[in-house]
Structure 1
Amino acid sequence: MMSKKITTVPVLIVGGGLAGLSAALFLSRHSVPYVLIERHQKTNIHPRARGLNFRTMELYRELGLAKAIEEIGTQLAKGKGWYTAHTLREAEFDPEKMDIPKILPESVKSYFATLKEISPASSVRATQNLVEPILLEAARERGGDLRFHTELTAFEQNEDHVRATVLNRTTGVEETIVADYMIAADGAKSPVRQMLNIKMTEMNSHGHIINIYFEADLEHFVKGREFSACNITRTGAAGVLLAINNRDRWCYHVSYDFEGGETAAHFSEERCREIIQKAIDLPDLQVKILSVLPWEAAEKVAEQFQQDRVFLIGDAVHLMPPTGGYGANTGVQDAHNLAWKLAAAVHKAASPELLKTYEAERRPVAQMTVSEAGRVADTGVFSAMKKQTEKRISPFDDLIVSVGYHYESKAILKQDAAPSSLDHFELKGRLGTRAPHIWGEYQGRECSTLDLLGLGFVLFVGEKAEGWEDAAKYVSGQFGVKINTYSVGQNGDFIDKDHGWQNAYQAKEKSVVLVRPDGFVCWRCEEHIEQPTLTLEEVFAQLLGKKRA
């Protein structure tokens, strides 16, 4: 009997969707080899997520992929607004009759002005089935080991490693993969989560829905008046029509009676076609059903995001209604938070204690995000879900959920007592928050402070803060971590012509701000330090949970 092939790798990623592919790219950026397995033959054929928020686009900008993703987003860029109509044929796509945004009108201009101030990136209307191939191609070009049509069948872990059995579904050959760590990005029904017996806490449910992805030429209906979504109210065909390219690709969401025993099996291609024809009010419309997916508009968060050497990200640990578009974005940001910590552990620069901060930081954010998605769902904007409130929402809630939260863990020094909430949006360089964006000049070109982040730690220092560059070089060698130092000011490495440093970071000429590889402020001081090397040694010993080499 032939023995199984054994592959040894630092990280095994289970799942090749948006979160898993993003994790692969982030690990690659930190020089961590990995194997990614995905049970399907190809990336997603169903659109699923339809947008990436500005924070996710900041991360793809960091990877050099923002431009490619923006280009595929042009298909949906014209489509704006949510509407309600009896049928699509009767719809009046008049901006004055738009359902969305159901927000406080006076705050809209302020929202967009704030968005421009806080980020060099913009949100992109791009569907998941178009984004994933871009990520996959980039991961392969950067040397990743990605194996599609390969399924995890079993795994076990001990103090030293995870030992997984995987099956190549094309050849039928099994293989053993021994990894230091495993990332489960295997979706809402996560087999890994179930194998670990990790429970999901259900906070609320907004009903069960069938998502019908179909092809039908409706360009003549919408050309010149493109839209994002339309709630259809016609009896027997009520649902939500989502534009995928505003020409011939669409999704129609219809609620079904799960409690009454109705299932996806009741939605044959013929029935789906009839529902769509009735909703559009064209009985002879040629409709091709591409895929049918049942889903629950639930609010759920896993009780654990980590179990020993296994980490879970994305839908494997949090489920939320699509209202707000937070689900996929939250998964990408999970991966970004985790990747640099795994890299530090794999490269022996940090103790395993650092890895525990992944759950400590991301689980509270997931809980807040899931709650906000549910709150938006309660407004009834997505008619396939039940309306439960007449309250309006503020666009600033979206900013807080996207980037305005803050972390509390051992990887943030000198804790800030205020918890993350939807009460107030502010990015001022506070501990545990994403480092503020300001425009400036570096090496003769315009760039954002965020463009300097991502590879190692970054130390921003005021022009009169002395001794920190030498201290960073010494501590970098002692701890085996990369620390890039930039003086900021009128004559600094990063030329700050408009005094954005003082305003955005609430900084002084002697201020020092330490930013983690994931772009979050983890330590700062405002006054002169007599022994910066000793101070920085103490900071990194606490951050990484280990003494110097």
Structure 2
Amino acid sequence: MNNTTTLRVPVLIVGGGIVGLSASLFLLQQDIPFLLVERHSGTSIHPRARGVNNRTMELYRTLGLEESVREAGASLAPAMGILNDSTLVEALDGFQAPKARAAFGGMVGSLGEVSPTAGTRVTQDALEPVLLASARQRGGDLRFFTELTSFSQNEEGVTATIRDRSTGQESTVQADYMIAADGANSPIRQKLGCSVSGKGSLGHLINVLFKADLRELVHEREFSLCAINNPLVHGLFTSINLSDTWVFHIGYDPSQGMSAEQFTPERCKALVRIALGLPDIEIEIKSIMPWESAMRVVDNFQHGRVFFAGDAAHQMPPWGGQGANSGIADVNNLIWKLGLVLKGGAGPDLLVSYNAERHPVDYLAAAESAAAADGSGMMTMNKQGVPSGVANRFTRILGYYSYSEPSQAIIPDQAPISSDLDLDGRPGTRVPHLWVECQSQAISTLDLCGTCFVLLAGPEGHAWRDAAQEVAQDLHLDIQAYRIGADGDLLDPENRWPALAGISPSGALLVRPDGYIAWRAQEQSGELKQVCRALLAGRDGENA
């Protein structure tokens, strides 16, 4: 008797880590049903990623999760400073975390003009439960301890077989599209035989998660990272909760006959004590996990109806914290496009823009992260004790990338993008942030994004509302129009919006659901419908 059931969903997500869980929330935001499967029984038990950058927090803000995410990382939030010495005890001698926090605050203080929020430290094992609980509370279908066992695709969709690992029950899933968020060793990528580029393996390391009460040692000296170099051990401490939970990364070289199996709990305890400079401290080893520092980027993020995101699309060293953050940006870029196509609002050619936009910026993030690794794959430091290359990519570490390559979903104007932090209204950049008043409440222009296209006009752009209504009716496109000004729909008493957006008082920005600018009209224009039809990848909206 065949007990196999068949499920029909628009989107199948494979992988329930940070990227897959974020994808589920963005799909819920777009009101797109999905099924997420994750082979493990629960969320990550290992810290791994340790923070979300400014741009990721902006995205979580649109989901109403900003404060929940910040609370989840509260214990690690004071961590500041990247140190370098022969032991942690020596590195902390003279280090003052309040001064380090003040210095960092000075570096990022100007970002208050750029964003309504800021990134935060939060470990993966603390963040994932927040995302999972929110997705389930909003009605998402997320199944853990369920694995993908096989799949095939054709022009109509993806057919997958999944198995409940607790009961052995198999089910068939018919999906229009599949998102592969199944990690750096992605079985989906391997089955499809996808080619990859990049430096490849950079080194091998052991991730030692351990318990040790270091509260007194780090009080008022709350550090983030500490590189250790002495004749007996080469490694890196990462703070997890600034109390009793820590990680120590240890490099090893297989070409010299070394293997992960040689790092037994007793050996790891001894190495951690040496690196701490505390030979008698009590240590409990929680886990020992080998990992590879590597740069591998899939050459095309789209293979038919399968889309790669996160580590499945781009493996990179964690030096700069861009791996998970890049993956979250991936799915945010992809899912509004999937939503339009699935709802019949755009042609499938729109989906080609996912690879066109995300591949160049993800490759750059991976290359810069790889450049910050030494011969063993560990983070390198310059003579001033600063991680290599950080200053040159600071805005990108904060998550501010621009889409400057040709894309179906962007209509460029004649002003080229010169910097990732030039958020001045040019198509391909994130919409400028401006605090405005809406129904007696202060909101950011970024808060308007997330669910649909938004048209943000200057104070004299009265005609844009009618133009947007015509587009909504004729092209069946969900679009909201606002006039920003001293007497506008969104109150801007000083009429700052035109200068920030690079438009005249009668001009407007057309902003995509992901917060990126699709088109800029310097002045009042009758081209909105034509522009939207081009952005919708050739769909004939009037005949739909």
Q: TM-score if structure 2 supplies the norm length?
A: 0.93
Q: Could you tell me how far 1:94 is from its partner in structure 2? A: 3.0
Q: Alpha carbons of 1:355 and 1:315: their partners in 2 closer, same or farther (altered >3 Å)? A: same
Q: 1:67 and 2:64 equivalent?
A: no
Q: 1:301 and 2:297 equivalent?
A: yes
Q: Could you tell me how far 1:494 is from its partner in structure 2? A: 1.0
Q: Could you tell me how far 1:418 is from its partner in structure 2? A: 4.3
Q: Alpha carbons of 1:480 and 1:290: their partners in 2 closer, same or farther (altered >3 Å)? A: farther
Q: 1:317 and 2:313 equivalent?
A: yes
Report the equivalent of 1:209.
205
- Matching of residues 453-468 of structure 1 within 5 Å: 453-468=449-464
Report the equivalent of 2:6.
6
> Whole-Å Cα distance in 1 between the matches of residues 371 and 479 of structure 2?
41
Within the candidate set 519, 526, 533, 1:523 is matched to 519
The answer to which of 202-211 and 449-458 deviates more is 202-211
Q: Alpha carbons of 1:367 and 1:16: their partners in 2 closer, same or farther (altered >3 Å)? A: same
Within the candidate set 275, 278, 286, 2:271 is matched to 275
Aligned letter for 1:463? P
Q: Alpha carbons of 1:154 and 1:252: their partners in 2 closer, same or farther (altered >3 Å)? A: same
Report the equivalent of 1:511.
507
The answer to which of 393-402 and 77-86 deviates more is 393-402
Report the equivalent of 1:54.
54
Q: 1:406 and 2:403 equivalent?
A: yes
Q: Quote the RMSD (CA, aligned, Å).
A: 2.4
Q: 1:536 and 2:528 equivalent?
A: yes
Gaps of 5+ in 1: none
> Whole-Å Cα distance in 2 between the matches of residues 181 and 541 of structure 1?
23
Contact 2:151 2:158 in 1 (8 A): yes
Aligned letter for 1:406? Y
Contact 2:6 2:174 in 1 (8 A): yes
Q: Could you tell me how far 1:96 is from its partner in structure 2? A: 7.5
Q: Alpha carbons of 1:186 and 1:432: their partners in 2 closer, same or farther (altered >3 Å)? A: same
Report the equivalent of 1:493.
489
- Deviation string 1:384-405 (CA, Å, 9 cap, x unpaired) is 3466999964646221452142
Contact 1:149 1:170 in 2 (8 A): yes
- Deviation string 1:504-524 (CA, Å, 9 cap, x unpaired) is 212221111100000110012
Within the candidate set 139, 155, 179, 2:151 is matched to 155
> Whole-Å Cα distance in 1 between the matches of residues 451 and 499 of structure 2?
25
SS in 1 for 2:166: coil
Paired residues, number: 536
SS in 2 for 1:343: helix
Aligned letter for 1:446? A
Q: 1:354 and 2:350 equivalent?
A: yes
Report the equivalent of 1:447.
443
> Whole-Å Cα distance in 2 between the matches of residues 298 and 63 of structure 1?
32
Contact 1:255 1:385 in 2 (8 A): no
Q: Alpha carbons of 1:21 and 1:182: their partners in 2 closer, same or farther (altered >3 Å)? A: same
Q: Could you tell me how far 1:97 is from its partner in structure 2? A: 11
The answer to which of 270-279 and 515-524 deviates more is 270-279
Q: 1:384 and 2:346 equivalent?
A: no
The answer to which of 225-234 and 394-403 deviates more is 394-403
Q: Alpha carbons of 1:266 and 1:511: their partners in 2 closer, same or farther (altered >3 Å)? A: same
Q: Alpha carbons of 1:91 and 1:250: their partners in 2 closer, same or farther (altered >3 Å)? A: same
Report the equivalent of 1:432.
428
> Whole-Å Cα distance in 1 between the matches of residues 146 and 358 of structure 2?
29
Within the candidate set 117, 127, 130, 1:131 is matched to 127
Q: Could you tell me how far 1:536 is from its partner in structure 2? A: 2.0
Q: Could you tell me how far 1:200 is from its partner in structure 2? A: 1.9
Contact 2:502 2:522 in 1 (8 A): no
> Whole-Å Cα distance in 2 between the matches of residues 94 and 80 of structure 1?
14
Contact 1:162 1:178 in 2 (8 A): yes
Report the equivalent of 2:246.
250
Q: Could you tell me how far 1:475 is from its partner in structure 2? A: 1.3
Gaps of 5+ in 2: none
SS in 2 for 1:43: coil
Q: Could you tell me how far 1:527 is from its partner in structure 2? A: 2.2
Report the equivalent of 2:469.
473
Q: Sequence identity, in percent?
A: 43
Contact 1:83 1:98 in 2 (8 A): no
> Whole-Å Cα distance in 2 between the matches of residues 436 and 481 of structure 1?
23
